[in-house]
Amino acid sequence: MSVKKELPPYICPYKGDLLAGVDEVGRGPLAGDVVAAAVILDPAEPILGLADSKKLSEKKRESLFEEICERALSFSIARATVEEIDQINILQASLLAMRRAVEQLPLQPEFVLVDGNKRPDWSYPCDTVIKGDGRVAAIAAASILAKVTRDREMLELDARYPGYGLAGHKGYPTKAHVQALEELGPSPLHRVSFAPVRKLLEDIA
């Protein structure tokens, strides 16, 4: 049986206080915007319990969301829309959302750490960090803000577009979601460039 190797601790080349972490949520779903957040934490006010948002309970994410908003030096939440995702593809839309989040920070960073291995097109000094949401506190904080924001929005959108089960699967391609798509057809929230939605539209045509 193979043993999953842990990545080593990340050592940031920047040693100042104006360090932003940025992450996005929502690359995989068939519906909804991709949401990004950027956070500059206060080194003098560490927040305990920060971790990859996907590994935290909903209750813990909600609690940390409030704490991050109250105690961070600066934070921003941005997005790329469904229309933008379909126009420029999900990777470019994710990078666009992250760029917007950093550019909208009320307090601009001197260095940015980006989750993953791709960086947005910008002039900020930065570094990419594989699995950064589990290795860098500022990226973890950003992932929590982005996920809680997107999950809350999907709950609200479930009431506007009933029948798809958005409150449960948050737009991800579950069996129930795909079945609902086949029965109801795509809503304005659905990404027509994604294969299951595109195929359904082609079959209808």
Binding residues: 23-24, 115
Residue 53 DSSP one-character state: G
Q: Which residues participate in the annotated binding site for a divalent metal cation?
A: 23-24, 115
Q: Which amino acid is at 108?
A: Q
E-only strand ranges, the chain: 19-25, 34-40, 74-80, 111-115, 126-129
Asked if 26 and 84 touch (Cβ cutoff 8 Å), the reply is no
Q: How far apart are CA 157 and CA 40, in angstroms?
A: 30
Amino acid making up residue 194? F
CB distance 51 to 138 below 8 Å = no
**Number of Cβ within a 10 Å radius of residue 77:** 20
Quick one: residue 89, left, alpha or beta (phi over 0 = left, psi -120 to 50 = alpha)? Answer: left
User: Could you give the 3-state DSSP secondary structure of residue 178?
Assistant: helix
